[in-house]
């Protein structure tokens, strides 16, 4: 009996010592930190070690609690506006006569034409660009219009992707902020498009809001074949007769490289015509977060 109690006592003592060492030891220091005996015996060092090893949550330590509202419909708006410009460019290039291209609401695009006999031609021309799995088409004769409407399932998917992308962006920015063990997760129902952000120990919510709400923009530009370089912007402009088309842009060869000659330019396309429907990562520029 005494032997059994002694064994249990030794086991409890060993476990306690190991737990104590894990709790008070300098285990969360930078790699270059030189540990010493003082880290285990100095009261100030022990206090610092404990604060580094034990992370208190928002309920114990206090901090910032935010519920972010993702403007998911901005993704639908960006796609709709992009398709409107695409429709104008493609119909002019065909050429197919049309009166106007309107976007009365997000996810709805209306092509007006004076010639009702060309409705099917307009539909067949634009639908492959928009995506038949995303958009559905209908026509009216009085007035003569071709209407493209985003399917509900596609719109829901874009909103979900926008919310997930916003969550990823927030995580990246919070991690850059250097907060220990933040909580970043979807909040409420899926159709609410909300993100919960909890940052223990951070008592400056306004700074956090500004950090999170900063806008990110990614632009992809395709160089127009054959990729000719021009010595000056005026020389490049001369290839268009003095007027740059709406789907072209004249840019320096490298806007960010300090060693590049800023006078050397090339012609790029504003739209990547052959690319698929924008992914959520490409739609990061159309996200806004509202606190």
Q: How many domains does the chain have?
A: 4
Taking 60 as the threshold, does the pLDDT of residue 185 lie above it? yes
Residue 286 lies in a domain: no
Per-residue confidence (pLDDT) for residue 264, from 0 to 100: 44
Q: Are residues 98 and 144 in the same domain?
A: yes
Look up the CATH number of the domain holding residue 198.
Answer: 3.30.70.3400
Q: Are residues 188 and 68 in the same domain?
A: yes
Residue 100 lies in domain: 74-151
Q: Are residues 123 and 167 in the same domain?
A: no
Q: Are residues 188 and 67 in the same domain?
A: yes
Q: Are residues 69 and 191 in the same domain?
A: yes
Q: Residue 148: name the closest of 158, 139, 140, 137 by CA.
A: 137
232-240 average pLDDT score: 81
pLDDT digits (tens, 9 = 90+) for 91-122: 999 999 999 999 999 999 999 999 999 999 99
Residue 280 lies in a domain: no
Average per-residue pLDDT in the chain?
78
Residue 289 lies in a domain: no
Per-residue confidence (pLDDT) for residue 140, from 0 to 100: 93
Q: Are residues 236 and 102 in the same domain?
A: no
Q: Are residues 211 and 171 in the same domain?
A: yes
> Can you read off the two tokens belonging to residue 31?
């790699």
Q: Are residues 49 and 82 in the same domain?
A: no
Q: Are residues 79 and 16 in the same domain?
A: no
Q: Are residues 20 and 144 in the same domain?
A: no
Q: Which residues pair with 230 in a beta bridge?
A: 265
Q: Are residues 242 and 198 in the same domain?
A: no
The last residue of one of the domains, among 132, 151, 170, is 151
Beta-carbon contacts of residue 187 (< 8 Å; ≥ 6 apart): 67, 194, 195, 196
Q: Are the CB atoms for 211 and 197 separated by under 8 Å? A: no
Q: Are residues 134 and 185 in the same domain?
A: no
Residue 277 lies in a domain: no
Look up the CATH number of the domain holding residue 129.
Answer: 3.90.1150
Residue 27 lies in a domain: yes
Q: Answer yes or no: pTM beyond 0.85.
A: no
Q: How would you class 165 by CB atoms within 10 Å of its CB: exposed for 0-12, middle for 13-18, buried for 19 or more?
A: buried
* Low-confidence winner among 81-85, 216-220, 256-260 (lowest mean pLDDT): 256-260
């Amino acid at each position: 009996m005494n032997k059994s109690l002694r064994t249990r006592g030794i086991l409890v003592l060993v476990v306690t010592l190991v737990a104590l060492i894990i709790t008070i030891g300098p285990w969360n220091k930078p790699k270059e930190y030189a540990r010493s005996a003082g880290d285990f015996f100095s009261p100030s060092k022990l206090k610092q070690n404990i604060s580094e090893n034990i992370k208190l949550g928002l309920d114990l330590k206090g901090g910032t609690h935010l519920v972010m509202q993702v403007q998911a419909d901005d993704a639908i708006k960006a796609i709709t506006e992009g398709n409107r410009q695409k429709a104008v460019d493609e119909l002019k290039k065909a050429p197919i006569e049309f009166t106007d291209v309107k976007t009365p609401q997000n996810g709805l695009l209306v092509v007006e034409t004076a010639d009702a006999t060309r409705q099917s031609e307009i539909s067949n021309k634009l639908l492959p660009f928009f995506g038949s799995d995303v958009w559905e088409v209908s026509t009216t004769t009085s007035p003569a219009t071709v209407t493209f409407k985003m399917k509900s399932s596609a719109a829901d998917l874009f909103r979900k992707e926008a919310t997930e992308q916003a969550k990823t962006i927030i995580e990246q920015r919070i991690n850059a902020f250097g907060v220990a063990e933040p909580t970043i997760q979807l909040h409420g129902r899926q159709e609410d498009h909300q993100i919960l952000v909890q940052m223990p120990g951070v008592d400056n919510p306004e700074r956090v809001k500004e950090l999170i709400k900063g806008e990110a923009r990614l632009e992809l530009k395709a160089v127009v074949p054959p990729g000719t370089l021009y010595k000056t912007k005026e020389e490049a402009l001369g290839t268009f007769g003095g007027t740059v088309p709406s789907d072209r842009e004249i840019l320096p060869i490298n806007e960010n490289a300090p060693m590049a000659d800023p006078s050397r330019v090339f012609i790029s396309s504003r739209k990547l015509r052959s690319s698929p429907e924008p992914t959520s990562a490409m739609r990061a520029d159309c996200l806004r977060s509202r606190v």
